[in-house]
Copies of this chain bind each other. A is one copy, B any other.
Amino acid sequence: MKAEIAEKLVRTGKGTPMGELMRRYWVPILMSSELPEPDCAPLRVQILSENLLAFRDSTGRPGLVDEFCSHRGASLFFGRNEENGIRCSYHGLKFNVLGECVDVPSAPQACKQMGIKGYPCVERGGLIWAYMGPKELQPVPPALEWCELDPSHVFFSKRIQECNYLQAMEGGIDTAHVSYVHRYEIDEDPAYRGSKSNDYMKADGNVVFEIDDTEFGLSIYGRRNGEIDSYYWRVTQWLFPWFTLIPPSGDHPLTGHIWVPIDDCHCWTWSISFRPDKPLTEIERAEMRRGAGIHFDLIPGTFKTKTNRDNDYLIDRQSQKDLTTYSGIRGFAMQDASLQESMGPIQNRENEKLLPTDRAIAMVRRALLDAADAVQRGEPAPALSAECQRVRAAAVLLPRESKPQPWAEEHLVDAMDAPVYAL
């Protein structure tokens, strides 16, 4: 890959083509619970390389504004979250959730020119989302399936990943790696064990992929042998610009990820487990909190995982020899993080040599580049409608002669009332 193209893919700051594309979508910023009540403590938030401040005003509205006061540049983090606004501690300037300046004690007439940037926020699915793009192009609110479920049906976690969003997200799209680094995890992990899917996946390592560009992003169909007259299909999706969906195993929940750039060398990796049809059990929640499935164990008071780059992900070479782990590292999330972060803060894509199993990755890159180019030309970003977000992953046995696409279009796209397909 040419350096110039690679740069376009990985740079997401204000004014970059990819950054401008991403700013056409609602960006997940925080869990609603991180701003637990009106007038609570504000939080510093870095997203897409912008330094911002999130707070909740006296009426409970969340706001995302410039971290720094327009006057002398002091951080509003040290401000007072007062009656419907955050007040800078330096000279008392006050800003509401829209970034409008509502008080300049020493010069009230200066209010109008002292405003700071403020991004509209909405709360959906237990998250606070911000829209950081041109006002007139603000899309409909987030409408992914898990956004519209009762909180009892959903479990979130997030962690700071020490690399560019793209190599992290590419790991999420890349189903080929499951048979390697995750090989011995499937049977062990409480969020995966004991499903028919696991049996099919272990029995047939030679997956055949069909990948389709779609209105919402990418549909990835992975085929393995099923029963004598059927194929076992796993249908996963990538949705513009950073969502992935993963089918359930047995009666375990559906899962998904979001990869959101913090800056170009760090990203938020969000992991979501959810059930459309019933609440998660307390046991499931407890296991996830301890790091089951796609989740992980955090250093208290932080979003950094206990298992991390500084401690070589607690690699245990003996467990490689014992075949209890493949790479010596435990847990799906940490297995992925170890490899993705090992590529460096920004993978050098000039040196990579893609293989046929990387087709989904190549297609996602192409889709992102095309969409970024379209936005640069003044055309709309793709997949902004609610329908485009209402997509679901599935695992299903289909007769050997059937193509999976018609089935998927009927049961997985904008059909959230359909049953969950899992094995």
Q: Which chain A residues have a beta carbon within 8 Å of chain B's beta carbons? A: 41, 68, 70-75, 77-81, 88-92, 104-107, 110, 113-114, 167, 170, 176-177, 179-181, 205, 312-313, 315, 317, 320, 326-329, 335, 338-340, 342-344, 347-349, 351-358
A78-B315, A78-B327, A176-B106 known; A355 vs B73 contact (CB < 8 Å) = no
Known A72-B352, A90-B177, A342-B75; contact A357-B41, beta-carbon cutoff 8 A = no
B residues in contact with A107, CB < 8 Å: 355-357
**Could you tell me the distance between the alpha carbons of A41 and B339 in the complex, rounded to whole angstroms?**
17
CB distance from A306 to the nearest CB of B (A): 18
Please indicate the chain B residues that have their CB under 8 angstroms from the CB of A91 in the complex: 176-177, 180, 355, 357
Assembled-state Cα–Cα distance A177/B342 (Å): 43
What residue of chain B has the Cβ atom nearest to residue A350's Cβ? B73
| Complex-state Cα separation, A317 to B73, whole angstroms | 21
- Report the nearest B residue to A78, measured CB to CB: B327
Q: A41-B317, A107-B356 are in contact. Are A327 and B79 (CB under 8 A)?
A: yes
Cα A71 to Cα B352 in complex, Å, equals 5
Contact (A78, B329) CB under 8 Å given A353-B113, A357-B107: yes
Besides the known contacts A73-B344, A88-B180, 8 further A-B residue pairs in the complex with CB atoms under 8 A apart: A71-B353, A74-B342, A75-B343, A78-B181, A78-B313, A90-B180, A104-B355, A106-B176
By beta carbon, the residue of chain B nearest A115 is B353
Look across to chain B and name the residue whose beta carbon is closest to the beta carbon of A207.
B106
Instruction: List residues of chain B with CB within 8 A of the CB of A342.
Output: 68, 74-75, 77-78
Q: Are A180 and B326 in contact (CB under 8 A)?
A: no
From residue A183, how far is it (CB to closest CB) to chain B in Å?
9
Q: Is A89 a contact of B355 with CB atoms below 8 Å? A: no
Q: Which residues of B contact A104 (CB under 8 A)?
A: 355
